[in-house]
Each structure stands twice: as C-alpha cells, then as structure tokens.
Amino acid sequence: FMKKNRLSGAFTLVELLVVIAIIGMLISLLLPAIQVARESARRMQCSNNLHQQGIAFHTYHDAKGGLPYGWDEYGLAWNGLILPFIEQQGLWSTIVHEETGSKTVWPFGAGNWTQGTSYGDKTGYDPSLQGPNAAACATLIPPYLCADFPHQRQVNNQQIIGRVQASYLGSSGSWAACDMATHVTGAGLTIKANECISQSHLKQNGMLFMIQMTLPNLKKSGNGLTGLSFDNVPKGLSNTIIVGEVAGDVNYSNNGNANDHWYIGMPQSEGDFSPPGYTTNTDYFGEDVHGYYSKKGSEFSETIGSGYTIVNSRWKTPSLDMRINQLAFGSYHPGSCLFLRVDGSVFTMDENVDLGVYREQFSRGEY
C-alpha cells in the first residue's frame, strides 16, 4: 500500500496562531506611528495657518502703513481686519462696519436694529434676521481653524447662529490678567503698575490691543484701521509674538466665564461708543495708574490673549479662575503650542517653558 502524505502548504493551528500573533504585534507597532504621522500633518497645517496670517499682517502693513488693532469700538477684531489679505475679500465686503442711515445692522449682533434716539439705543430688534456680520462670524475660514480642534466647531452663541470657534488669539502682551478692570480684583488679584492689569486698558505691552489714546500715530481710513507699526517694536520683529494658538471650548467654564474664542467680530466687546469715534467722556473711559481704560464692552479674550499665565494653562491648571485662564494661550497639540512672531516666522513653544522667559516674548520692548 502507498503511504498518504499530509497535504503540503496547509497551516497547523499552532502556526496559524503564531501568524495572527505576529500580525497583531505589527499592527500595535504601526498604529502609534500612524498617529504620530497624522499629528505631525495636523501640526504642519496649523503652522501653515499661522504662516498665512503672518503674510497677511505684512501685506496689511504695506497697504495701510501699520498693523491692525486687536479690536475696535464696533467689536471688529484683528482677524476681521485682515480678511482681504487671506483671500477673503468677498467676505470682508459684506461686513457692515458703520451706521447706514436710519436702520443699521448692529455691529456683530445677530439681527437688525432700528436706530433709536442715540447710538446705544437698541430698539426694534428682530432676532430672526441674521445680518451679514453674524453671517461672517458663522463662516468657516480655514486659516483660523486648527485641525486638532476636538469639539463642535459651530455653535449658537450671542444670538449668532452657527458661530465658529476660533483656534488662534492675538497677543496684547504679558500684562493683562483679565478682560476687565473689575475682573482683576474679582479674581483675587492685586492691580500693580506694569504688572497686572486688564485688557480693557488701552495701553498694553504687546502688538494687538485697543490702541486709541496710547499712541500718537493713530490712523483711520475707511473700513481699515491701523495701530502699531513695525517702528513701534524696538525689541525686534523676530523676538516678539503677535498670534498664538488657543485651546478653546465654549462648554468649559467657571465663575460665570467660558473658555470661548471667536473671530471677526465680538458682540460683547462692542462698547456702545458714540460716533464718529472715541471720546474721553467718563461714561466710556476710566483712568487709573495705567492711564485710560474702557468702561464699555467686555470679553476681549474672545479674540485677544495674554502671556500673563503659563502656556497650556487649560491643561496644567484647569481649576484656575476662568477670568484669568481664558486669556491663556494653549494648544490641542500634545505638550506644546505654536506661535507667530511679528516677522512672520512660526515656532513651537514647549509647555514647560519658564514663565519669565515666556512672558518676555510677548513684550514689544516699549512701555
């Protein structure tokens, strides 16, 4: 009789289990590498976003002779002012930035307001009418959006339907601890000259803030506003931060303040100033050891941050009073945060950087 041989090429159970185990090990080794590659790509995209903003700032400066404000009396923010220079001229042209006859789209409010007897008289409001300014605030603009943002990007906020949460804040410098002067003491801080003030103060040591009455070279031209120029940065453009990432989340809050950040326009920071511009009327301004500060409007942290507290404070000190924490720069990239310098260069800041070294990078060197 002929002896029957076992079929060649077939796997035994043991061999099959070994192969499966090897495949599992390879997958477990490969997945982290894929995640690292994906995070690297998202970080690169975020860096490109900041680079585009840097180009926009320089183009703005070339066109208008100065950089934009951080915000103005109508609630228009720096990231709204540079829209034409990030290929968003069409969107910029829709924004109403002044009163138009007897009826106006209230600056960065949701609906239309019928003009009352004074500029601040908001009568005849119809919340069903989403004006063009609200529509702009609800428009997704890629250079303002980090791909690592893990939350719902568009939410209904301040009567703006689908308002977009932003990923970047402009820098007011390192002095501002809170939005408003009243918040400083409310958060248990002591106001000290050139050390701990609010963003409602018109004088700051950074690049983007409310500049009126603090600099002699103020210019206003149509819908374009200019503030600081490159000549106002004695420390050097390559040594001064102008924009950084922020780890925002409208649902993260304490003490009545949310860690929310937006772009283009800010209804809560619009200050009801009487046109044609600013005055020294005590209804609008107070004065202390730091000079003038705005008594109208709030929530400047929606578009402007500060180097006052540590980077990634959101993660490192989550219980910190939100009146302070909401101004902190931070990132959803692990362990670091991306920043843009005035010269247009982008760099990564380690979250464990010394606070003194960190703050110094937000000062333009002029006080």
Residue 122: its pLDDT value, please?
Answer: 43
Q: H helices of 98-235, where?
A: 132-137, 181-186
Q: Please, which pLDDT band fits residue 222 given cuts at 50, 70 and 90?
A: very low
Is pLDDT larger for residue 182 or for residue 59? 59
Q: In the numeric block, which tokens belong to residue 319? A: 């219980």
Tell me phi and psi for residue 183, to 5 degrees. -70, -30
Rounded to 5, what percent of the chain is helix, strand, coil? 30, 20, 50
Q: Which of 1-15, 28-42, 44-58, 181-195 has the highest mean pLDDT?
A: 44-58
State whether residue 117 is helix, strand or coil. coil
pTM for this model (two decimals): 0.81
Q: Please, which pLDDT band fits residue 255 given cuts at 50, 70 and 90?
A: confident
In this predicted model, what pLDDT tens digit does every residue of 83-104 receive, in sequence order?
A: 999 999 999 988 876 554 444 4
Residue 134: its pLDDT value, please?
Answer: 82
In this predicted model, what pLDDT tens digit does every residue of 102-127 receive, in sequence order?
A: 444 455 654 444 433 333 444 444 44
Name which of 8-12, 23-27, 39-43, 77-81 the model is least confident about. 8-12
